[in-house]
Amino acid sequence: MMPFKKKFKQLEEADITEIERRIKANDPPYNAQFEYANNYICTSKYTIVSFLPKNLFEQLQRIANAYFLGLLILQLIPAISSLTPLTTFIPLVAVASFSAFKDALDDYRRHRSDDIVNNRKAMVLRDGKMVEEVWQKVVVGDIIKMENNHFVAADLLLLSTSEPNSLCYIETAELDGETNLKVRQALPETAEMGDDIGQFTQFDGEIICEAPNNRLPKFEGKLNWKGETYALDNDKILLRGCVLRNTHWCYGLVVFSGHESKLMMNCGKTVFKRTNIDRLMNALIIGIFIFLLSMCLICTIACGIWESIFAGDKFQIYLPWESYIPGTILGTKEGSVTEGATVLSMLTFFSYIIVLNTVVPISLYVSVEIIRMGNSLLINWDSKMYYEPKDDPAKARTTALNEELGQIEYIFSDKTGTLTQNIMEFRKASINGKSYGDYLDASGTAIEITEFEGSDSADSVFHYDTDSTPKCDFSENKYSEDSFSYYDRRVPDGIRRQDSHMCDFFKLLALCHTVMPEEKEGKLEYQAQSPDEGALVSAARNFGFVFKSRTPNTITIDNCGKEEVYDLLAILDFDNVRKRMSVIVRRNGKVQLWCKGADSVIYERLDKSCRELQELTTHHLNEFAQEGLRTLCLAVKDIPDSFYAQWAVKYKEASIAMENREEKMNECYEEIETNLMLMGATAIEDKLQDGVPDAIANLAMAGIKIWVLTGDKQETAINIGYSCRLLTDDMEEVFIIDEEDYDKVKQQMEDALKAIDDIKKGKKTETEDHVDSVRFENGGMPTGTATYNSADDVVSLEGTSDFALVINGHSLAHCLKPELEMTLLELGCSCKAVICCRVTPLQKALVVDLVKRNKKSITLAIGDGANDVSMIKTAHIGVGISGQEGMQAVLSSDYSFSQFRYLERLLLVHGRWSYLRMCKFLKFFFYKNFAFTLCHFWYAFFCGFSAQTLFDPYFISFYNVMYSSLPVLALGLFDQDVNDYYSTRYPKLYHPGLVNLLFNKRVFALSVIEGILSSIVLFFIPYGALYEEVTPWGKDQSDIQSFGVVVASILVVAVNLRCALDTSYWTGFNHFVIWGSIIYYFCFILAMYASVFNYTYQGVAFAVFSSANFWLTLILTNVILLVPVVAYRFYITSIKASLTDRIRMKQRLTKSKSRSRDLHIRRTSTFRRSARSMRSGYAFAHQQGFAELITSGTNMRDRASSVQLKSPVTLTNVKKFDGHSANSSKPKNGTAAQASHPNSLETYETGGKILYTEKL
């Protein structure tokens, strides 16, 4: 198979013959000759034609299915088959049909989703007029008209728009998960066509561009039109999956369509995924088949010896050999007895393959599929994973991977839209050396803020007035937003007093930005290029400083009811190097520069008189950063008119320079942005999704390692890392790999590894056996030692130190090269947290594949955008977040839900249960079938190895279908060791799945050994009891039919009682199927062996069941089989109780009391202090380029200068946290309080090491 990297590289480089693409507008015949892909998409695996062969091929990848097919072929040969071929043919067809139906149902859902997309409507230019056409009929070269809020149908070259200067605004959430708007601009030459259909009909431009590829941020091409050539880049391209926003209409020419669009090129192909247990089963089936061949070989040799040496041939008087056997007394085939015995023994070999084939019954795979489907339905029906605001339940989009959810070791997560909501809220501020944002009591002490949110419980009682912290009243402000929440009354009170520092602070927020206001239905709304800016401008609006309108030369604000117009002299734009932006404005003849940016760059440019204020602000910044808030510093400068006049001349010359324009403009910026006066700092919260920190903490305690792969900038990703507790201030070191040169990147990584090694060597080794010393951190391993015992198998958990790794995309490109990838893997696995920033979709997939290939661990990828699709498909399990960011990730995923926090329940509850159930099912299934099948083997020594069966043929057919199937199915569908509450309360219960503790080759071997021993007991105890037995009437009762019924009856009772012992969670259905199966067997066999059916076993059942010897034998055999198991388990639970045993005992003692929910959410105050934390909270998610658009008037149109009504802008939201988790997440002394995590096992994990003992 082609290596993963090579496949992706070919995809990126478009490994088709097309090197460049040529397109002529309005010329279908010319474009048709290149056979470009149409706009039809298909994310499904099958078509009507390919379904049967492709699905059969996939099913035959299961060795067991191939084994049964071979068995069926053998049964078609009358000479060797003692059973009808229907006994294998019907189950095989049933299994294949059931699996095919399930696969077809899964694929049908994909087809249905594809049909919805393919049949969306678009306006297409055809024959000189615009006609409505479905998306799948759009072809390369078509001209499409789109309107506001419409999805882009294909990758288009933007031709013209309704906006000034042919700008249009797009939302790329479905591509990259970002909801902030991006700007695209058409060529001025094509923009002149406007909305004129006639001109578009005459448009005959030719596009020469790159071949289809998956590079989302890059496009290269040129347009030849009217004898001129125009360069084309990504700023002139609208990609499929984008949504047109704030633009009445636009026209575009289709460049890439369907599967050749960049969105679909990033999706990759749907792959066939198999679980770890499936792969193990394939190996076990080979082992079982070898074992089967060994038994058949023994019977073959023994048959030859019996027939040739021990006078077996003398029995031909009663049962002649077949006519084709040499030496038969029928005289039809000449030959010696030895020759006949040889031929007969060879035929016996194949006969015993058929007789003993039930060691791997075909019903095993039917049962596995039923269990998987049932567990998938339980996921779909889980009300605790249902997101009511969007009416979105969790969905298991595949039914084949459930138990894999219980073995996840690595989670690869996107950030934006997956961990966060991409919604910013203004939380706190430092103004003139004072910190604001906490709710203060009468004595001025900061107390916790309680936000009322309601509860999930239907019977909850809410108290709105008494328990919720009162919010500040903004009703006097007609522009205020109902969704804005603020609790510190000192700020609005200070503004009412006209406090100059506060007023200037919020005036800066209303002036220094690139936000565009817009009036919609009489309401003022803001369109921000980044949610950070939107949150700051919205905060200023609610505090009375309302940004109302702008022109290329003016900014109009409402200052507490008074309109103020500022002349906009210049915007010194933001970029990733400057990390700041400034505006220069004039009002009443006074020129001022207002600046905001990262603390590091602002501090360098402050006036010396700000030293004391800088120290106070720095202290506040550390507090804000400790809370995970994103911070900016604000500063102002008064500029003399004479200085500004001189500077303006230099600035104009720099802005029109033809050489080194950027450097000259930066020199101008540096010249004027000096001697600033510090005003304070803002702190906004990048809202995490509800429950993310607690979910991550629980998953980490379970031993799961979490890597965050995001396209966001480094500062933003690090800030979120602290917010969601991936990063903490008590870490030994956070290594940042950010060089662009290969050698420097290599050196950084080697230095990091050396530093880790030095720190580990320098630490004193402390061994604490008490469970309280075991602290599970993110990264999955405890800082201490713990063991999980399974019989004699001890698996040690070795702790990792607290390190973190942050790596940039350009550095990651070097790290993923073959020479460095193992170094990256070693470094990443040495760290507790790994965050990769500025990564491309391809890099995300390569990182996942790197771990998947080399760690041999089960991986899970979770994301919400099209840029996450490649890693979702690469991982063993892909999870899609179905949110506001589009459905591409969901369509490519195996599981989907609306909130990241549901991942905790998916893995720790459903995943663990599914793994536990499947392991129990497989162990029991192999046990009961070896116990059943080996009885035939022991009987072979008493029937001359003639391949005669011990049991009634109907019993052989019904054993795995009617007598023992339902109890084990109930075990696989409903069993649980502990309930869902304790599964999440004690996440270390997840550990056995990480190390394959519950079902592996050793466990399988023990099950087989137990089955073999049980078969010996089942055969020889009744054999001894019935040996030479006679009835009270003197009749012989030791015939083969009676003996077979006795063994069969004891077998049915024994395996069902054994299933009862394995059942941990009893339901009414379990009782019904276990006891019902036993009763049903006796009733059915009595009826079937009655005289009415005239069957060969007529009367045998009644005769056997009326014998006291039978019932005593049944009791004795079951006691011998079950008492040792009960005694062993009693010893284990009493002397070496496992973690599960202890928690089950606690569950029984507490009668499974449900966890109560706090109805209020506590947002911790800034009373949390950390003298240690010196990290910057700067993480401004802004992009360069908007300043030029504003000052040039390029993006201006008539906008409302005033609005009379309140207008809510949906930039803020009420934060919802579980009160329990909020309390648990409150750090002490500036560190994350992980030792006192609510999921710790301090009370119940006592008495030494943690033990996990699996029962036999």
Q: Is 414 part of the annotated catalytic residue set?
A: yes
- Quick one: how far is CA 96 from the chain centroid? 29
CA separation for the pair 311, 297 (Å, rounded)? 21
**What pLDDT does residue 1176 have?**
57
Instruction: Choose, from 313, 414, 504, 686, the residue flagged as catalytic.
Output: 414
CA separation for the pair 762, 1137 (Å, rounded)? 37
CA separation for the pair 655, 581 (Å, rounded)? 17
Kindly report, residue by residue over 1129-1180, the tens digit of the pLDDT. 999 888 888 888 888 888 888 764 444 444 444 444 444 333 334 455 666 6
Q: Which two tokens stand for residue 735?
A: 């290594």
Q: What is the pTM of this model?
A: 0.75
Question: ∠ at Cα 1106 (1100, 1112), nearest 5°?
Answer: 110
Report which secondary-structure segment, H or E, holds 590.
strand 590-597
Tokens 């309360």 map to which residue? 985
* 1169 close to 512: Cβ distance less than 8 angstroms: no
Strands (E) across 1095-1166 are located at 1160-1163
**What pLDDT does residue 934 have?**
94
CA separation for the pair 1061, 939 (Å, rounded)? 28
**What pLDDT does residue 1181 have?**
61
User: Quick check: helix, strand or coil at residue 112?
Assistant: helix
Kindly report, residue by residue over 341-353, the tens digit of the pLDDT. 788 888 888 888 8
Q: Which of 984, 805, 814 is nearest to 903 (CA)?
A: 984
* 1234 close to 697: Cβ distance less than 8 angstroms: yes
If DSSP states are collapsed to H, E and C, what string results for 685-711?
EEEECCCHHHHHHHHHHCCCEEEEECC
Tokens 């589009």 map to which residue? 886
**Beta-strand pair 439-440/446-447:** antiparallel
| Positions in the chain whose pLDDT score sits under 50 | 1-16, 453-466, 764-800, 885, 1152-1174, 1199-1256
**What pLDDT does residue 1028 have?**
74
| Residue 762, Cβ density class (10 Å: 0-12 exposed, 13-18 middle, ≥19 buried) | exposed
**What pLDDT does residue 758 have?**
86
